[in-house]
Structure 1
Amino acid sequence: MPLSTFSRRATLGLMLSTVAMPVLAQERPVVATANYPLAYFAERLGGGAADVLFPVPADADPSFWRPGIADIAAIQAADVIALNGAGFATWPTKASLPRSRTVDTSASFSDRLIKTDTVTHSHGDGGQHSHTDTASYTWLDFTLASEQAGTLADAMIRQMPEQADMIAANRDALLGDLAGLNTRAATVGATAGSTAIITSHPRYQYFGTAYGLDISAVDWDANEDPGPAQWAALEDMIAATGAAVFIWEAEPATASRERMATLGLTDVVFPPLANRPAEGDFLTQMETSLQQIEAVLRDR
């Protein structure tokens, strides 16, 4: 028998309490999200009238995070379950999610998803994993991020009709901010011109395609020291592409940055923000990253 709205929220509060998280007020709608960009969008859209559930630990990669039984139960009980789609995260394919309350926020642009080669590798102690054959960091094209935010707003309005006017107003403000990021990113593309860029991880496909950037990728973990074979492969890539800029997805070791300089690369950190940043939020962090990349390209 389907759970009533009250029962689902009571279940969510109970499950959250069992995993040492704050119990959410049972009368408030809950939006569960698969990654931080969607959590940020939901927070903006809900305007404090809804609780946002983003259970991925701060040190985990949401793409490969595996929820526990309590996490799944809490997600299933949410009023809206917002997925990124595009192959981002495998757990939704293995969990029984209520179709009426689950939304794939990239479904509207499924014909514009970028296909990639499958790469199997490992990071730290996490074991081997594979990148799917579809690039999944869709929000790095800020026009696609806007579509995702709009789709999420529609889903929230369906489940929270009494808050429709507020959600619509918040949607318009959020879309305005995302349009500003899109304008800034377009300026980055124009500033880059034909400058070739190498990224530390193959997660910037939508960013490169949307803004006309010439991007190649290695597959490094910024938290680990690259080995001799990785440095040799990078030197080969520099020779093949003429790259002058290197983008890290997280702050690397000082020695790695120093070696970049000896290879003639100017490097910059641009976190893709699949998980929540330690400081700031999606908007402020993206603005900062885009400004820094533009400055590096302009000063070359």
Structure 2
Amino acid sequence: MRAAVAAVLLMAAPAWAQDRPVIVADSYPMAYFAERLTGGAAEVRLAVPEGRDPSSWRPGLSDIIEIQAADLIVLNGAGLSDWTTRAALPRARTVETARGLEAAFIATETITHSHGEEGSHSHEGVATHTWLDLDLAAQQAEVLATALGRALPEATPDDALTTLLSDLQALDVQGDALVADMPVPVIASHPRYEYLGQAYGLSVTSLDWEAGATPDAAQLIELRGRMAETGAGVFLWEAAPPDAAREAVAALGLAQAVFPPLAMPPEQGDFLDAFRQGLSDLETALTTSE
């Protein structure tokens, strides 16, 4: 198990067999927030298996039974986990943290593609990665804290929300400092960064490149076209690319940054660590491209 989520356990045992209350989250940010807010007084589990994408994962019957048995089920909302619209989840024990933030949702174009064993799926309707705008993430943490206070008051330290919000605000300030004036054009390897761009002064154009793969000739031609259209000088990867991929993009004159979208746990550190490193990497790329 990754060191970043030592306290956030993958689902392994029935909720009713545990001594502590069990919280099941549909994405890593929600699991991280729940862990911070409960301070170890609850067992927080990530419903999605390691290495799978929450936006395309489909739970089996046994998965749904375990999720239904949790003391609290935490969903991101904004269409991230579409299986939740078909599963019979206990409404009294389910909280959708983005509910009430609909006015801030970003509409998206339809992009259909595949992710290995997850099969084909589409990014359409609403951008899902709301937590990449840390102001929205903070509002989601507040919604979660309220739900925890009702459902598991004994597992919610009084000062945990204040500390978490302070940490998120500090990072938000770092993000606000990235761009001083007009939005800066950036090209991303995958459609994940709508909220990041809107929050921190980036005009993001998304491609549909598979994480960890080297772009082929047709993809590089498309990238050159997008560069000409947008004037972008920065390329944003969702994961560290192979050397050949980095070299191919560098040959086009693009500065590069890696910013994990964080729907799943980062390879190193926790949510704050990965977000901070992503902002630092992005700042370096923006400076290099000037």
Shorter-chain TM-score above 0.5: yes
Give the Cα–Cα distance (whole angstroms) in 1 for the partners of residues 35 and 155 of structure 2: 14
Shift of 1:125: 4.5
The reply on whether 1:183 has 2:184 as its aligned counterpart is no
The letter of the residue matching 1:117 is E
Give the Cα–Cα distance (whole angstroms) in 2 for the partners of residues 80 and 105 of structure 1: 12
Alignment partner for residue 221 of structure 1, among 210, 224, 229?
A: 210
Instruction: Quote the residue 1:58 is aligned against.
Output: 50
Cα contact 1:87–1:132 (8 A) shared by 2: no
Instruction: Quote the residue 1:197 is aligned against.
Output: 186
Give the Cα–Cα distance (whole angstroms) in 1 for the partners of residues 258 and 49 of structure 2: 22
Shift of 1:77: 1.0
Alignment partner for residue 273 of structure 1, among 254, 262, 265?
A: 262
The reply on whether 1:17 has 2:13 as its aligned counterpart is yes
Give the Cα–Cα distance (whole angstroms) in 2 for the partners of residues 141 and 39 of structure 1: 17
Alignment partner for residue 253 of structure 2, among 264, 272, 275?
A: 264
The letter of the residue matching 2:153 is P
Alignment partner for residue 125 of structure 2, among 125, 130, 133?
A: 133
Alignment partner for residue 241 of structure 2, among 205, 230, 252?
A: 252
Distance of aligned partners of 1:160 and 1:126 in 2 relative to their CA distance in 1, 3 Å threshold: closer
**SS of residue matched to 1:154:** helix
Instruction: Quote the residue 2:149 is aligned against.
Output: 157
Instruction: Quote the residue 2:81 is aligned against.
Output: 89
Instruction: Quote the residue 1:4 is aligned against.
Output: none
Alignment partner for residue 211 of structure 1, among 197, 200, 206?
A: 200
RMSD: 1.7
Cα contact 1:115–1:134 (8 A) shared by 2: yes
More strand by share: 2
CA deviation profile, 1:56-113 (whole Å, cap 9, x unmatched): 1221111111112221111111111111111101111111001111111001211111
Instruction: Quote the residue 1:234 is aligned against.
Output: 223
Identity %: 48
Q: Which sections of structure 2, spanning at least 5 residues, go unmatched? A: 1-10
Instruction: Quote the residue 1:7 is aligned against.
Output: none
What is the total number of aligned residue pairs between the two structures? 279
**143-152 or 63-72, larger mean C-alpha shift:** 63-72
Give the Cα–Cα distance (whole angstroms) in 2 for the partners of residues 296 and 266 of structure 1: 5
CA deviation profile, 1:206-236 (whole Å, cap 9, x unmatched): 1111122121111111222222221111110
- Deviating above 4 A after TM superposition, structure 1's stretches of 4 or more consecutive aligned residues are none
Cα contact 2:37–2:160 (8 A) shared by 1: yes
The letter of the residue matching 1:90 is D
Cα contact 1:37–1:139 (8 A) shared by 2: yes
Give the Cα–Cα distance (whole angstroms) in 1 for the partners of residues 277 and 72 of structure 2: 31
Instruction: Quote the residue 1:100 is aligned against.
Output: 92
Shift of 1:251: 1.3
The letter of the residue matching 2:174 is R
Cα contact 1:153–1:171 (8 A) shared by 2: yes
Instruction: Quote the residue 1:46 is aligned against.
Output: 38
**71-80 or 237-246, larger mean C-alpha shift:** 71-80
The reply on whether 1:174 has 2:170 as its aligned counterpart is no
Cα contact 1:138–1:145 (8 A) shared by 2: yes
Give the Cα–Cα distance (whole angstroms) in 2 for the partners of residues 194 and 81 of structure 1: 37
Q: Which sections of structure 1, spanning at least 5 residues, go unmatched? A: 1-14
Give the Cα–Cα distance (whole angstroms) in 1 for the partners of residues 194 and 47 of structure 2: 26
Equivalent residues in 2 for 1:110-121, closer than 5 Å? 110-121=102-113
Q: TM-score w.r.t. structure 2 length?
A: 0.91
Q: TM-score w.r.t. structure 1 length?
A: 0.88
CA deviation profile, 1:146-201 (whole Å, cap 9, x unmatched): 0111111111110112345x1x31111000001011111101133x8553210001
